A and B are shown apart, each in its own frame.
Chain A
């Protein structure tokens, strides 16, 4: 997704901004650019990698803005890269998001010269007009904002005016308060090596950054936004000797899981301690839970359904956030809507939550990002505490999401009296053992790498599982297709014979989940179906079980309801090594962005 960075202060702007662009790389991009403002404005921008971008030299620059672009309006070209300028070249603007009414605005600005196909370019020209009418930079940005419809975050500068003016409407923007200046970013990663003191802008905010101060306005009024300390340290954002962020993050899972459960397991009481602010009486009486999420988070939601329904005796509906609708006749009073989103900024999930709120439902978020948009919009949030995830393919956040949701399921079951303290203690014991079970899989990486090498040139890969393992089959297939571009599909094992079996040949390995908690006897029959078509089968089997009919097996430590989640870690490694064998750019798969903040 597009990324914004900005800096004003005593340091050399060009180097701070180029570091910011590098930090934003993980969001996915196809072009990048920088504007430096000194006596005049220097803009360098181009299609391609940040390493290929020549950073402008402008020794008298006092501030600047930068941008990584992920194309929506207009192809990735040099001209379409940001920053965009006005006719005079004095105004420079970077923008994330989408302007709904740019066609009309562009027609209205018919005397102006447009150089790109982007929606963004109307903004510098609107600012130019306002300045021609006598407005200063801030007033000009505000006047331009009045005309814009859509979701966006922007940052604007002018050669003759001090400071950077930034504005947020539905697209995140964070200010960093440093000792040597003020920083601007689409997220904290952009400047975390310079400062951890941050404030999050809210919708409608216009911030004016000076080198040692900031003024924020909302709806014409001066406002202040709390300065918070973020605990993500810059060292956590490096690759630390791994070839890819994804590999680093796979190996961080035992630590991330210990954080996710830290302080949340009360084994003596057989309950999860979660600090949930939602009213106990409400949670005891709800009769339905809706889960809305996208991509990997959707798979975490499907896993949560398999955990919650039997433990809490409540019906759970899981929807893709982009498909989530609430129709009349639904009992909105007694429904809890749970949004699962790593970034807390996913546009589809935010809009689903807004529809739920509008229909009167209580909303709850499970997210990794403190201060994210979703946490401000929902009634209560549960943090997964996984730490920063940079690899576009989610790994540790999936495992931490399911863990947080398993704790939530235990909490709900105990609150509603559907599970006893003893049953609660058993589930918590499995949760508590997750870190060591995941570590045991990581210790077997060499075996998984050999399997990946053996099958990396297969025609397609199929993943089959039942019950708790079905969402994991979908997730494992998503992981492999995201980073290797191989054809990978996950199926409910019982569905194979209803169609997908036609795809199975001796060139399509089938990865089958045979975990104790996922109906292994029935899945074994499906394994036999595919083996009789000659497909090589890799079984993910409970440690100690005899699955010698599979061509290969990967042993998974026995872990009750959470065992399929541990099996997922083995297939993260499998996906990683297949993609690595194929030489794919694992951390930046083509066409994909980390958090999708456009709808």
Chain B
């Protein structure tokens, strides 16, 4: 059986990080989100993986190549334009031709769930969908069941529409009849897999498989920090072999330091910090709960908390990203009281003594003059003068 992973989405709510990379390449616990999914699939004994890729797909292909490093064969299928998950799966039809496991490329689940879906599908020959219970289903696809049979799916139900706290996990087992069902689906705009399933259940059995294991989903920038902490909690700290940690630097736990990164004397890196490859952490910098992407430089003396720093970015000396809870607006929705010190995009340069207030989102290629205080959303390529 092959596993199809849908990884073509643009992840616009994670902008600016997803302007230059697909969502699946966002690092979690020191490795890309997609790598967690591929490792889960490989752990079930599936060797053939089909990756449906689109937006910035070269990043995915350069990292996973043909899958040899994970003991799997990866085939790539391209969805040129984002036309929904159903359309994405249809793109994979010519290489799947039969039963398959389908996984949304933005969820981390345990291998055991994938195994159970395969077993269930192979026992009864019917399509299966994994469900899990959440407190607030309004952001998900709510699933109504009778016994083990799915009777309805409601995408992002309003408060008054909630009939069930069970939601779609985004992991499925299908037979070959799914492709014809997708082609038949009535839809406007994007063709979502759930649109197909809502029609499919009229004349097919769709089995719900209950799941209460780890389910980590990434849709807004601060999710990256909480998902990262969730993954780090299960693993030991990893300091890459070619990394250079100076004497006099302090590393807490859990912490991941990537290859060929340099931690200068006096730097203090507390918990829940992931440092990518080829990063420089300057002397006397203090970092807590942060993800620092590859090739970044943190100059000496900065304090960095609860935040994400993009690739190739230089944070000048004595910058302050204080962290903590705040209200953030993303994609015209206001999220209140989230723990989010800020997001700094790729190739940003800040000079000395810059203050970044909680919840600030700085676009790619922004340059910031010394002594500035940043708040809210800074568009890409902006030059920030000190007012």
Contacts and interface: CB of A to CB of B under 8 A. Distances in A.
A435 interface: yes
A262 B346 CA distance: 21
Contact of A241 (B53, B277, B347): B53
Contacts of A443: 20, 56
Contacts of A254: 62, 294-295
A252 B246 contact: no
B260 A439 contact: no
The list of the 5 closest CB pairs from A to B, nearest first, reads A235-B68, A436-B312, A241-B76, A436-B295, A238-B66
Contacts of A240: 61-62, 64-66, 74, 76
B242 A262 contact: yes
A234 B41 CA distance: 21
A572 to B, nearest CB: 13
Interface of A: 233-236, 238, 240-242, 247-248, 251-252, 254-255, 258, 261-263, 265, 267-268, 432-433, 435-437, 439-440, 442-443, 445, 543, 557
Nearest to A257: B278
Contacts of B56: 443
Given A240-B66, A241-B76, A436 B294 contact: yes
Given A241-B57, A435-B294, A436-B312, A236 B278 contact: no
A432 B280 contact: yes
B67 interface: yes
A543 B51 CA distance: 35
Given A241-B57, A258-B260, A432-B280, A440 B62 contact: no
Contacts of A436: 294-295, 311-312, 346-347
Contact of B259 (A241, A258, A445): A258
B259 A255 contact: no
A263 B347 contact: no
Contact of B312 (A252, A262, A433): A433
B277 A258 contact: yes
A433 to B, nearest CB: 7
Contact of A258 (B61, B64, B262, B278): B278
- Most chain-A Cβ atoms within 10 A of its Cβ — which of B63, B67, B260, B280? B260
Contact of A233 (B69, B259, B312, B346): B69
B85 to A, nearest CB: 19
Nearest to A255: B62
B264 interface: yes
Nearest to B259: A262
- Most chain-B Cβ atoms within 10 A of its Cβ — which of A241, A258, A432? A241
A242 B75 CA distance: 11
16 contacts: A241-B53, A241-B74, A242-B58, A248-B61, A251-B61, A252-B62, A254-B294, A258-B259, A262-B260, A433-B295, A435-B294, A436-B295, A436-B347, A437-B312, A442-B58, A543-B365
Given A241-B76, A432-B278, A433-B295, A440 B58 contact: no
Interface residues of B, number: 36
B62 A248 contact: yes
B47 to A, nearest CB: 13
A439 B346 CA distance: 10
A268 B245 CA distance: 12
- Most chain-B Cβ atoms within 10 A of its Cβ — which of A255, A432, A557? A432
Contacts of A242: 58, 61
A189 B53 CA distance: 28
B68 A233 contact: yes
- Most chain-B Cβ atoms within 10 A of its Cβ — which of A252, A443, A543? A443
Contacts of A234: 66, 68
B69 A251 contact: no
A241 B311 contact: no
A445 B59 CA distance: 12
A238 B73 CA distance: 11
A233 B64 CA distance: 12
Interface string B275-289: 001101000000000
A557 B346 CA distance: 12
B75 to A, nearest CB: 8
A359 B365 CA distance: 53
Nearest to A445: B58
A269 B3 CA distance: 49
A150 to B, nearest CB: 38
Contact of B65 (A236, A445, A543): A236
Contact of B69 (A235, A247, A437, A445): A235
- Most chain-B Cβ atoms within 10 A of its Cβ — which of A261, A433, A557? A433
Contacts of A557: 347
A251 B68 CA distance: 18
Interface in B53-102: 53, 56-59, 61-69, 74-76, 78
A255 B311 CA distance: 13
A4 B35 CA distance: 37
A236 B68 contact: yes
A380 B153 CA distance: 67
A435 B296 CA distance: 10
A433 B56 CA distance: 21
Nearest to B246: A268
Contacts of B57: 241
B294 to A, nearest CB: 7
A242 B65 CA distance: 10
A128 B346 CA distance: 67
Contacts of A433: 295, 312
A349 to B, nearest CB: 30
A263 B240 CA distance: 11
B39 to A, nearest CB: 15
Given A241-B76, A268-B264, 5 more contacts: A240-B76, A251-B62, A262-B260, A265-B260, A440-B346
A263 B242 contact: yes
A238 B72 CA distance: 13
B125 to A, nearest CB: 32
Contacts of B53: 241
- Most chain-B Cβ atoms within 10 A of its Cβ — which of A235, A433, A435? A235
A247 B51 CA distance: 19
Nearest to B58: A251
Contacts of A247: 58
Contact of B278 (A248, A251, A261, A440): A261
Contacts of A235: 65-69
B260 to A, nearest CB: 4
Nearest to B278: A258
A590 B345 CA distance: 43
A261 B260 contact: yes
Nearest to A440: B347
A19 to B, nearest CB: 14
Contacts of B68: 233-236
A234 B65 CA distance: 10
B35 to A, nearest CB: 14
A235 B71 CA distance: 10
A233 B246 CA distance: 33
Contacts of A258: 259-260, 277-278, 294-295
Contacts of B347: 436, 440, 557
A380 B143 CA distance: 67
Nearest to B63: A255
Contacts of B20: 439, 443
Contact of A440 (B65, B69, B260, B312): B312
B64 A435 contact: no
Contacts of B75: 241
Interface string B7-25: 0000000000000100000
Nearest to B59: A251
A251 B57 CA distance: 11
A432 B296 CA distance: 10
Nearest to A437: B312
Contacts of B74: 240-241
Contacts of B67: 235
A242 B78 CA distance: 10
Contacts of A265: 260, 262
A247 B278 CA distance: 24
A478 B126 CA distance: 58
